[in-house]
Amino acid sequence: MTNAELSVAFFLQMAVIIAACRVVGWAAKAWLDQPQVVGEMIAGVILGPSLFGLMAPELQAALFPAESRSVLFVGAQLGVGLYMFLVGLGFERDHFRTAASSAAAVSVAGMAAPFLVAVALTPWLIDMGLFGEEVVTWQAMLFMGAAISITAFPMLARIIHERGLSGTPMGSLSLSAGAIDDAGAWCVLAIVLASFGGGAMVAVKAICGGAAFAAFMLTVGPRLLAPLGRRVEREGKVSASVLGVILILFMLCAWVMDAVGIHAVFGGFILGVAMPRGLLTQQVRAQLEPFAVLVLLPMFFTFSGLNTQLTMVDNIGLLGVTALILVGSILAKGGACWAAARLTGQDNRTAMGIGALMNARGLMELIIINIGLQRGIISPALFSILVLMAIVTTLMASPLFEQVYGRKARREGLLMERAPG
């Protein structure tokens, strides 16, 4: 396709993507009591080969030609990275410091228990031919552990926002644990990829580079960024020049985390956490959030949906594998996070709410398993099984949270009303 043809295709794609995400998101909220973000995730899958491509393959191929995928990919990365920057701006550092031990414990437990499930299940999955021929047992175990232990950080952030948890101790604790959880999963993935020919330096660069960047931004960063906050307070607004500087910093932080082998979303989130609080964060969110949420983030969901083919799970044996992975990962993740929260001083209801939220795997898992499929680590059938797990666990996270925590907390005035979609 020429650049002019790509431009024509892109604008039609965006019209369809935004319309589908708004309509399906509205339906999810109105009929299923799900957050807007869950509907957007489903809309992405609907636009892909699992439904639209199955019912009208020629029309779907014409609307989303292969040559345009790279444009959607770049927009998707910008959207999810910018959204996580906005999440970081709303992150309450005081709540994290207050509950740091709980966040670390919840994260470690939430990774360790699913890893044990992965260790138990992987030999069976290998015997069924669900991994690549050149994959050895320890590589398969590490990959499965990362895939089923991850918490979808962007998805968790949207659910927390839409359920009225933003800025609350519980919301900050869950976000903190989710951030640690996802960073750990990406480090494990880096080790697996290094074992497939990338070399040991791939893992070293990811782990050491990511840790060094986070430590610098969270200790030195706030002092370096403080003059921006003082200027905004003095001028009474975020000027175009200040917003330009902030966007440059965001791009650089996203680049650093992508360059070391983690993911751009963590660069955006860490920068947001380090930014000075006050008028600056309020106005930056007001200026950037509508475009990021309504235009850019749906590109992320759609790009992931275009790579998802659910029809590959087509026999009783694979459905049985799906059920076992699903039940094992949900019980291990939720139970371990609940137990860790209780052991670190959280009350039972809060611990159950955290366990429910941490089970939302969503599209961060889709990113990991897409990498696994591209590298030949997992088969298309196992890829589809893990996609189903991502969808089901994300669909159940919000209703389960409302059942064990949200409804009663709102009646008691402990939780604000849900944010509008």
DSSP per-residue codes, 363-393: HHHHHHHHHHHHTTSB-HHHHHHHHHHHHHH
Between helix 153-162 and helix 264-274 the angle, nearest 10°, is 50
Please give the Cα distance from 163 to 197 (Å, whole number): 43
Of 31, 28, 156, the C-alpha closest to 103 is 156
What pLDDT does residue 60 have? 93
Please give the Cα distance from 266 to 254 (Å, whole number): 7
Per-residue pLDDT of the chain (421 residues; tens, 9 = 90+): 788 888 889 999 999 999 999 999 899 888 887 777 778 888 988 999 888 998 999 999 999 998 888 899 899 889 888 988 988 887 766 656 666 777 888 989 999 999 999 999 999 999 988 998 888 898 899 899 988 888 877 678 777 877 778 777 788 888 888 878 877 777 787 777 666 655 667 777 877 888 899 899 989 999 999 999 999 999 999 999 999 999 999 999 999 988 887 778 888 989 998 999 989 999 999 999 999 989 998 998 898 888 777 777 777 878 888 899 999 999 999 999 999 999 988 889 889 989 998 888 876 777 788 778 877 889 888 888 888 888 888 888 888 888 888 777 777 766 655 555 4
By the 8 A CB rule, do 287 and 238 touch?
Answer: yes
Distances (CA, A) of 260 to 81, 202, 257: 16, 8, 5
Q: Three-state SS for 100?
A: helix
Q: What tokens does 272 get? A: 């947001």
Every domain of the chain and the residues it spans: 3-70, 71-409
Contacts 24+ apart (CB under 8 A), 216-221: 217/253, 217/270, 217/271, 217/273, 217/274, 218/270, 218/273, 218/274, 221/270, 221/271, 221/274
- The second-level CATH assignment, the architecture, of 71-409 is Up-down Bundle (1.20)
Please give the Cα distance from 279 to 242 (Å, whole number): 12
Please give the Cα distance from 324 to 330 (Å, whole number): 10
By the 8 A CB rule, do 173 and 95 touch?
Answer: yes
Please give the Cα distance from 70 to 167 (Å, whole number): 36
What pLDDT does residue 297 have? 87
What pLDDT does residue 339 have? 94
Q: Other CB atoms closer than 10 Å to residue 362's CB: what's the count?
A: 27
Residues 6+ apart with CB under 8 A from 28: 34, 35, 36, 38, 39, 42
